[in-house]
Amino acid sequence: MMLDWTLEEQECRRRLVQFWRRHENNNIFCTFKSVAAADRVPNSIVVSCIYWEERQDFFITSVDCIHLLESLIAVRFTVEEKNRIRRNLEGFRPLTVSKCKADSIDFFKLIMSFPNPKPRNIEKDVKVFPWRILPLALKKIIGKYTASYSSTSSITLDT
């Protein structure tokens, strides 16, 4: 996802990445590819791969990471479950992007400026992870995950 960006993606410093999931027995398989904003199907699983120019690297927000996890395992997490997942993701050493930090204010403004699908919920500090750790993070969280009706609710995905 970090190679061969279109001119439009380079200019806006964001690539939309669409995922598809397949569930067989106790395994979840996913595939993904870049998708143009105009070609994005409503209610599909899409996250943002964002280029941070000053760091010369690509990132995913914690909001998008949790959204992707929910979509892949077809549940909606409660606030408590999301907090537990965030704590588990801390091992991947996220960076905090803030409007109050000189070294990240421009990246913060970029993230806040993106239209739907938005890689954030509200305008506040956001944690970001290098895109390259996404497979490891997904495996870690899904591997630790055990559904309980008190912490999740089922969702239906169009596949």
Q: What is the pLDDT along the chain (159 residues), one digit of tens a residue?
A: 899 999 999 999 999 999 999 988 878 889 999 999 999 988 899 999 999 999 999 999 999 999 999 999 888 999 999 999 999 999 999 999 999 999 999 999 999 999 999 999 888 899 999 999 999 999 888 887 655 444 444 444 443
**Number of neighbouring beta carbons within 10 Å of residue 60:** 25
Where does residue 87 rank: exposed (0-12), middle (13-18), buried (19+ CB within 10 A)?
A: exposed
Q: Containing H/E element for 87?
A: helix 79-89
Angle at Cα 151 formed by Cα 147 and Cα 157, nearest 5°? 65
Q: Give the residue among 57, 96, 83 at the shortest CA–CA distance from 141.
A: 83
